[in-house]
Structure 1
Amino acid sequence: MTEIVYVLTNEAMPGLVKIGCTQNDLAGRVRGLFQTGVPLPFEVFYACEVQDCKFVEKQIHDAFGDHRVSKSREFFRIAPERVKAALLIGAKAEIKIGDEIFEGLPDIKETASEMKAEVEAAKRRARFRLEMIGIKPGTELQLEKSPSITCKTLDENNQVEFGGEKLSLSRAALKAINSLGYNWDAVSGPWEWMYQGKRLDEIRREIEDEAD
Structure 2
Amino acid sequence: MTEIVYVLINEAMPGLIKIGRTNGDLAIRIRTLYSTGVPLPFELFYACEVADGGFVERNLHEAFGDHRVSKGREFFRLAAERARAAMLLAAIKEVKLGDEIFETTEVKAEVEAAKRRSRFKLSMIGIKPGTELQLFKDPTIICTTVDEGNQVNYHGDITSLSDAALQAHTALGDEWPSASGPWAWGYKGKRLDELRREIEDQAD
Structures share a fold, TM > 0.5?
A: yes
Matched with 2:157 is 165
Within 5 Å, which residues of 2 pair with 1:26-65? Answer: 26-65=26-65
User: What's the TM-score once normalised by structure 2's chain length?
Assistant: 0.85
Partner of 2:94: 94
Contact 2:132 2:145 in 1 (8 A): yes
When normalised by structure 1's length, the TM-score is: 0.82
Question: How far is 1:143 from its partner?
Answer: 1.3
Q: Deviations over 1:93-127 (max 9, x none)?
A: 2233446666xxxxxx44xx435434533543453
- Is the contact between residue 193 and residue 200 of structure 1 (CA under 8 Å) also seen in structure 2? yes
| 1:156-179 CA distance string (max 9 Å, x none) | 222222223222211111111111
Structure 1 residue 179 and structure 2 residue 171: aligned? yes
Q: CA deviation at 1:23?
A: 2.2
Q: Distance in 2 between matches of 1:77 and 1:100?
A: 27
* Equivalent pairs, count: 204
Q: Secondary structure at the match of 2:119?
A: coil
Q: Is the 8 A contact 2:125 2:195 kept in 1?
A: yes
More displaced stretch, 93-102 vs 23-32 = 93-102
Cα deviations across residues 12-71 of structure 1 (Å, max 9, x unaligned)?
A: 333322111122443443233222212333233222121211111122222223332222
Give the distance between the partners of 1:127 and 1:26, measured in 2 at CA.
Answer: 26
Correspondence list, 1:119-198, <5 A: 119-198=111-190
Percent identical = 68
Structure 2 Cα separation of the partners of residues 97 and 126 of structure 1 = 23
Structure 2 runs not aligned, ≥5 long: none
Aligned to 1:15: 15
Deviation at 1:74, TM superposition (A): 0.8
Tell me the equivalent position of 1:114: 106
Please report the RMSD computed on the Cα atoms of aligned residues, expressed in angstroms: 2.4
Task: Report the structure number with the largest CA radius of gyration.
Answer: 1
Distance 2:127 2:22 in 1: 43
Matches of 1:100 and 1:133 in 2, distance apart? 34
Gaps of 5+ in 1: 103-108
Q: Which amino acid aligns with 1:91?
A: A
Counterpart of 1:211 in structure 2 is 203
Read off the aligned partner of 2:60 and give its amino acid letter. Answer: I
